[in-house]
Homo-oligomer: A and B are copies of this chain.
């Protein structure tokens, strides 16, 4: 099982990440990849830029722990999680979660599981700068909490 967790300012190359995920086993039959992008508006306001703050050290620990839990639930060959920090523009890539498994159900479920926990546990915070100059911290969404709770039933 190969686990890669990267947190930093650098962008990522989805094609290269997919090839890397596929390379870990000749029994890999299913790769599921999630890419989160910055949207150009939120709550009715145009958003010009976004700044992502995190808790260095804890973010990597937290994501690695989430990936470990996913491994215990599903048979996986490889997992890659990349999360960007710093200043981002609309349509920039923010987050990548890629999973390789023998069968697609395991790949879909584990990828969604990792995203649901990342959204609710990993210490990242978004601050938006809107078109009218307002700077505001993005509020956590109740729907993300609900999405995570599904996995605990």
Contacts and interface: CB of A to CB of B under 8 A. Distances in A.
B40 A26 contact: yes
Interface residues of A, number: 35
Contact of A32 (B18, B33, B90, B147): B33
12 contacts: A14-B15, A15-B18, A26-B41, A27-B40, A27-B41, A28-B39, A30-B35, A31-B33, A31-B37, A36-B104, A39-B102, A105-B147
A76 interface: no
Contacts of A22: 35, 37, 91
Contacts of A124: none
Given A14-B18, A22-B37, A28-B91, 5 more contacts: A22-B91, A26-B39, A29-B39, A104-B115, A108-B115
Q: So how many copies of this chain end up in the complex?
A: 2
Interface in A5-48: 13-16, 18-19, 22, 26-41
B28 A37 contact: yes
A112 interface: yes
